[in-house]
């Protein structure tokens, strides 16, 4: 009895596996079935690739972004790799799956089926129809799916005002070519760009993407157009280190000229070197900027202002050296003396200026003894109105004075610059 049952169980298992095999056989792909489908669709029915399947044909398009290759400021181009998925219905390309071994999809090349013509309108390399002997997948209900790979260089109007804290908005514009809106209507396949396979870029962060449809009008005929919009934000780290810091540091070096002693004979050489370094930085940087004058970069303005200030420093330095080397019998114009005197009066508490005052007085009145001077100094309002400073003292005074003025000026300009840039964030 038990052996009999065992025999039947074995039989059952065997039958079960045979049944699975049969099932597999019935869904298996067979070349002859696929051949029959191709014959049915393209030979027997007299398929004409020039005849539109519908009027209008709704063509759904999706853009799948793979990588951003470059976002070039100078040439204002965005280079991307990706592909378009284009889907439409062609009722002539339908078959009954049960009659053809349950085959649900066949593959063909685009040139044997009717297909829309698409161009990327803002491409800067070539303006030709997308697709070049690519494969289309035809589903049993007539849905045709066409995948178009494309490395695109598209123009993109970039705003460099807040470089390197800029963000750029770039569009990829796809338009129907040849068929106007009544014949081919482009619609979006998905609600947004496909970023599933997107690989991040080291220079830019992809912030958002969006889609907009529009129309291209020519001679009263409208052509369907789709815009795929991508917003990038620059990662500024590299530029902070290689552009912003060097510029600020070089700018700071400018005002140091004034504390370099005249005797060293290095003043003009030093400031000219700093000016040259600034000019090189400006040139290097300007080379990477677009030649458009639509947007002015804050960084370029900062560099230009710094360069202008450095030129003023050169002029002042040369005048100070000139004054320093004037012969002793030359007496500077009265207005200079009164300027220095008034300035020192207002800052009478400063020790260094008292010192200057003291030497000035003693030098011009060698007879004055120290106690007498101290007496005078205790009441600065009584400083002799016509005390003359020596040329060297005037030069030193102006050196110190302009050192303070230009340091404050540079701090202000640098603060303005950084505040403007950080406002962009
Ligand atoms: C194709 O037809 C199917 C079924 O009628 C429909 O769901 C689909 O949206 C159509 N596709 C397009 C691109 O119009």
Of residues 284, 349, 333, 276, the one with CA closest to residue 307: 276
Where among 235, 255, 290 does a domain terminate?
235
Best probe residue, ligand 1, of 89, 90, 184 (max atoms within 8 Å of C-beta): 89
Residue 8 resides in a domain: no
Where among 194, 211, 235 does a domain terminate?
235
Which atom of ligand 1 has the smallest separation from the CA of 88? 13
Confidence band of 4 (pLDDT split at 50, 70, 90): low
Q: Could you give the percent of the chain with pLDDT greater than 70?
A: 84
- Full domain range(s) for residue 324: 239-332+389-422
pLDDT tens, 118-174?
999 999 988 888 888 899 999 999 999 999 999 999 999 998 888 889 999 999 999
Looking at residue 317, which CATH number applies to its domain? 1.20.58.390
* 184 C-alpha to ligand 1 centroid (Å): 14
Q: Are residues 200 and 265 in the same domain?
A: no
Mean per-residue pLDDT, 9-23: 55
Which atom of ligand 1 has the smallest separation from the CA of 143? 1
Where among 182, 207, 235 does a domain terminate?
235
Q: Are residues 272 and 184 in the same domain?
A: no
* 89 C-alpha to ligand 1 centroid (Å): 6
The residue contributing the CA closest to ligand 1 atom 6 is 89
pLDDT tens, 246-263?
888 888 899 899 999 999
Best probe residue, ligand 1, of 87, 143, 188 (max atoms within 8 Å of C-beta): 143
* 32 C-alpha to ligand 1 centroid (Å): 29
Task: State the total domains in the chain.
Answer: 2
Confidence band of 51 (pLDDT split at 50, 70, 90): very high
Neighbours of 125 (CB within 10 A): 12
pLDDT of residue 16: 56
> Residue 422 pLDDT > 70, yes or no?
yes
Looking at residue 100, which CATH number applies to its domain? 2.70.170.10
Residue 377 resides in a domain: no
Q: Are residues 393 and 276 in the same domain?
A: yes
Residue 306 resides in a domain: yes
pLDDT of residue 364: 45
pLDDT tens, 355-410?
454 444 444 444 444 444 444 444 444 445 556 788 899 999 999 999 999 999 99
Q: Is 52 left (phi over 0), alpha (psi -120 to 50) or beta?
A: beta
* 64 C-alpha to ligand 1 centroid (Å): 20
Q: Are residues 192 and 315 in the same domain?
A: no
Q: Is 76 left (phi over 0), alpha (psi -120 to 50) or beta?
A: left
Which atom of ligand 1 has the smallest separation from the CA of 58? 14
Which atom of ligand 1 has the smallest separation from the CA of 89? 1
Taking the whole predicted model, whether its pTM rises above 0.85 is answered as no
pLDDT of residue 358: 46
Which atom of ligand 1 has the smallest separation from the CA of 87? 13
pLDDT of residue 406: 94
pLDDT of residue 369: 42
* 62 C-alpha to ligand 1 centroid (Å): 15
Residue 368 resides in a domain: no
Q: Are residues 105 and 168 in the same domain?
A: yes
Which atom of ligand 1 has the smallest separation from the CA of 187? 13
pLDDT tens, 265-303?
899 999 999 999 999 988 888 887 777 778 888 888 898
Q: Are residues 157 and 83 in the same domain?
A: yes
User: Rounded to an integer, what distance in angstroms lies between the CA atom of residue 214 and that of residue 171?
Assistant: 12
Q: Are residues 243 and 221 in the same domain?
A: no
The residue contributing the CA closest to ligand 1 atom 1 is 89
> Residue 52 pLDDT > 90, yes or no?
yes
Residue 207 resides in a domain: yes
pLDDT of residue 206: 94
Q: Are residues 306 and 398 in the same domain?
A: yes
Residue 341 resides in a domain: no
The residue contributing the CA closest to ligand 1 atom 12 is 88
Neighbours of 264 (CB within 10 A): 9
Residue 374 resides in a domain: no
3-state SS record for 34-79: HHHHHHHHHHHCCCCCCCCCCCCEEEEEEEEEEEEEEEECCCCEEE
Q: Are residues 165 and 134 in the same domain?
A: yes
Q: Are residues 256 and 198 in the same domain?
A: no
* 35 C-alpha to ligand 1 centroid (Å): 26
Confidence band of 97 (pLDDT split at 50, 70, 90): very high
Mean per-residue pLDDT, 164-186: 93
Residue 267 contacts by C-beta under 8 Å, 6 or more apart in sequence? 257, 260, 317, 321
pLDDT of residue 15: 56
Pocket of ligand 1 (CB under 6 A): 58, 60, 87-89, 143
Residue 343 resides in a domain: no
Average pLDDT value over all residues in the chain? 85
Mean per-residue pLDDT, 12-33: 63
Q: Are residues 57 and 152 in the same domain?
A: yes
For residue 19, the Cα-to-chain-centroid distance in whole angstroms is 63
Confidence band of 339 (pLDDT split at 50, 70, 90): confident
Q: Are residues 324 and 193 in the same domain?
A: no
């Amino acid at each position: 009895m038990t052996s009999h049952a065992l025999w039947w169980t074995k039989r059952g298992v065997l039958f079960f596996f045979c049944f699975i095999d049969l099932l597999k056989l019935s869904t298996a792909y067979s070349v002859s079935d696929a051949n029959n489908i191709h014959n049915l669709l393209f030979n027997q029915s007299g398929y004409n690739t020039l005849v539109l399947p519908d009027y209008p044909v709704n063509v759904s398009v999706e853009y799948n972004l793979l990588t951003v290759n470059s976002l070039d400021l100078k040439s204002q181009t965005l280079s991307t790799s990706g592909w378009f998925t284009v889907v439409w219905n062609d009722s002539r390309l339908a078959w009954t799956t049960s009659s053809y071994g349950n085959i649900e999809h066949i593959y063909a090349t685009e040139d044997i089926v009717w297909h829309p013509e698409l161009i990327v309108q803002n491409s800067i390399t070539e303006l030709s129809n997308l697709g070049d002997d690519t494969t289309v997948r035809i589903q049993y209900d007539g849905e045709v799916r066409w995948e178009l790979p494309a490395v695109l260089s598209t123009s993109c109007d970039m705003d460099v005002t807040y470089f390197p804290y800029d963000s750029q908005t770039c569009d990829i514009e796809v338009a129907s070519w040849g068929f106007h809106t009544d014949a081919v209507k482009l619609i979006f396949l998905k609600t947004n760009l496909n970023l599933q396979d997107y690989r991040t870029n080291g220079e830019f962060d992809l912030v958002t993407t969006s889609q907009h449809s529009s129309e291209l009008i020519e001679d009263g005929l409208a052509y369907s157009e789709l815009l795929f919009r991508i917003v990038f934000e620059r990662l500024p780290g590299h530029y902070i280190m290689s552009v912003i810091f060097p510029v600020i540091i070089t700018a700071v070096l400018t005002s140091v000229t004034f504390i370099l002693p005249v005797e060293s004979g290095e003043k003009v050489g030093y400031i000219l070197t700093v000016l040259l370094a600034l000019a090189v930085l400006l040139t290097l940087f300007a080379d990477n900027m677009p030649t458009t004058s639509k947007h002015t970069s804050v960084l370029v303005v900062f560099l230009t202002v710094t360069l202008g200030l450095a030129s003023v420093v050169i002029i002042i330095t040369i005048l100070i050296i000139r004054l320093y080397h004037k012969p002793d019998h030359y007496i500077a114009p009265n207005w200079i003396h009164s300027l220095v005197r008034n300035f020192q009066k207002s800052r009478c508490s400063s020790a260094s200026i008292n010192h200057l005052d003291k030497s000035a007085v003693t030098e011009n009145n060698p007879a004055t003894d120290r106690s007498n001077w101290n007496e005078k100094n205790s009441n600065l309002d009584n400083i002799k109105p016509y005390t003359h400073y020596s040329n060297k003292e005037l030069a030193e005074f102006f050196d110190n004075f302009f050192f303070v003025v230009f340091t404050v000026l540079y701090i202000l300009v640098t603060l303005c610059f950084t505040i403007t840039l950080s406002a962009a964030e």
